[in-house]
Chains A and B, each alone.
Chain A
Amino acid sequence: MLKIKDLHASVEGKGILKGINLEVGAGEVHAIMGPNGSGKSTLASVIAGNETYEVTAGGIFLDEENIEDLSPEERAHNGVFLSFQYPVEIPGVSVTNFMKTAINESRKAKGLEDMPAKDMLKLIRDKSELLEIDRKFLSRSLNEGFSGGEKKRNEIFQMAMLEPKLAILDETDSGLDIDALRIVANGVNKLKNKDNAIVVITHYQRLLEYIVPDYVHVLYNGKIVKSGTKELALELEEKGYDWIKQEAAV
């Protein structure tokens, strides 16, 4: 589904991704781990089309199609979703209105009519139940004054609403207490199916106890330096990242 070939990306002339190769198939869960500053969040942003970063070499393919020239919204219409590490606060736009706009703009791009209000309400109700979100929460301004946990839960709620083909969860576990973590992970697991894929970006192994990956990759200094199965995550948890750094330096 997702193929990343020799991807190089930089910001303000500074190279951050230095040749990433990654393949993610439908129905798979991949975890990308790595020490701070290794380029994990950059990778997530670049896949979602953040124009702050410049792709200098290589390419990203979604279902064999190079998505380099697609805008972030076009990527979203093609099924890419990024759960932000730091969701942006947008005062004045309610969660509900935001989701309505997002869904109807995606439908418009596919040549569909707006979703009937009744269906929209039902969808919102079903998905908010999945994430154990209070109805009152939905009329609040997007992320404004939300706790860390509420923000992340809201991200996964958006994922549930948009039903992406490829979901990238960027540090979704950071700032979550154990209960919120369980709710969020449970939501993600319920959304997982044989046709979609999930890339979990995380610093710690903790989230992977709940969202169990098929593959684990270690990103260091802009490259994937090691890949393995979920046992690799446990090894990293136990031994830290230093041995990876040493291996990479050799």
Chain B
Amino acid sequence: MDLKDKLVSSFLAFENNVDVHNPVHDVRTEAIKNFETKGFPSKKEEAWKYTSLNSLQKIDFSIFPKKESSLEYKDVKKYFIHQIDTYKIVFVDGVYSSNLSETTHDGVDICLMSAALTKPMYKAVIDVYFNKVASKDESLTTLNTAFSREGAYIYIPKNKVPKKPIEIIHFSTGNDAALMLQPRNLIIAEENSEMQIIERHQSLTSNAVLTNCVTEIFAAKNAIVDYYKVQNDVDSASLIDNTYVDQKDGSHVKVHTFSFGGKLMRNNLNFYQNGERIDSTMKGITIIGDKQHVDHHTLVHHIQPNCESHQDYKGIYADSATGVFNGKIIVDKIAQKTNAFQQNNNILISDKATINTKPQLEIFADDVKCSHGCTIGQLDEEALFYLQSRGIPKKEARALLMYAFANNVLESVRIPELKVRINKLIANKLGVNLGFDL
């Protein structure tokens, strides 16, 4: 049975474990119908031209974990930003892990999607927000919606700021030979609220994992959301991330994506600017090698006037790695005085590495500033000689140049300990022991 059929038939089993009378289930039922019609996207679709899901569909993924497993904090501590205190929403093989988590209801809700979807006290919020910005049409998103049951639920009321950053971590233990996970996150920042979130998916074995994640973010007037995605998974793990952001007047939402490891990483970031004076920022550093594949698909829809968007993606590709950057900017006719900037710079350090980069600008307003630029290059030999002539060995000199190429993306990271961690991951990825302390 192929993966699509398996998923569709698993939906019946899924229904035995959820309340089918909950209105949320109507949403799921609609969604599975859409997925059944559409199936997995193929390379014939423009948006999937350079990313193939064929080999993943041949793997016999378990749709539900066979048994529950638990992890000890000391064994997975290194995946947390453990130098600082954080709220933690942690899942092991898709199941909430209470011993690794630290949730709260103290003035803010940092807890579980399963609770939010089932408990009456959250119904009003769920009615207003659940599946409201996520696509009802895109097949992988609707697949996730169909199976939406668990994930992170974060609700920050007006004028509130959680005491510490929030970590959302999904571990997979390899108890199943191959496991598919479909986390569903709902993040709501009410007026003038502020939060910082770090998300990570981490497989602990070499068994195959496919994560199809959907995150909906709602930023109300003047809210600030900083979202950091740390992708440094093992080579048997793949991630399809679908993030949808709905922004209102004066809100600032930043998503940083650090892609350093995994078999296939597809990042679909969709920003909708439903207000004025909005700032949307998407930044990324991609450093991959071997046969790894990273695909960044971004969309900013400027719906109202006087807003800004900033995109800055840096990519370094070694060995036979492949990369994709597809950045779409839509400026509606009434969205005058839009400032939209997009930058994608890449270094190929092997003859076999590939990058496909494509800006897509659809501008219907006439008083806007839009700029885009993409570059593909190699390391500067003269700069390399300069560093070497000062006693820095070639390998370290190359690493330093690559770090220098990418590091302006880190300037906007507002959690210093996270920045240190990313620096270490970069050094590690480049195979050097340099501090990169700035």
User: Which A residues lie at the B interface, using CB under 8 A?
Assistant: 48-52, 71-73, 75-77, 80-82, 84, 87-88, 90-94, 97-98, 100-103, 105-106, 109, 141, 158, 162
Contact = CB atoms under 8 A, between A and B. Distances in A.
A147 B386 CA distance: 18
B380 A88 contact: yes
Contacts of B403: 92-93
Indicate the size class of the contact surface on chain B: 20 to 34
Output the residue of A84, A102, A109, A141 with the most chain B CB within 10 A: A102
12 contacts: A48-B389, A52-B381, A71-B388, A76-B391, A77-B391, A84-B389, A90-B387, A97-B437, A97-B438, A102-B392, A109-B391, A158-B390
B373 to A, nearest CB: 15
Contacts of A162: 390-391
A73 B388 contact: yes
A49 B396 contact: no
Nearest to B397: A73
Contacts of B387: 90, 98, 102
Nearest to B392: A105
Nearest to A94: B438
Q: Which 9 residue pairs of A and B lie closest in terms of their CB atoms, listed nearest first?
A: A92-B404, A76-B391, A72-B388, A106-B391, A102-B390, A88-B386, A88-B383, A73-B388, A93-B404
A81 B386 CA distance: 10
B23 interface: no
A90 B404 contact: yes
A206 B390 CA distance: 27
Contacts of A80: 389
Given A92-B403, A92-B407, A93-B404, A76 B388 contact: yes
Contacts of A87: 386
Contact of A101 (B381, B389, B392, B408): B392
Contacts of A77: 391
B391 A93 contact: no
Contact of B389 (A49, A100, A141): A49
Interface string B384-421: 01111111111011001101111110000000000000
A57 B392 CA distance: 27
Output the residue of B388, B391, B435 with the most chain A CB within 10 A: B391
B392 A73 contact: yes
Given A92-B405, A93-B400, A72 B434 contact: no
B434 A101 contact: yes
Contacts of A76: 388-391
Contacts of B382: 88
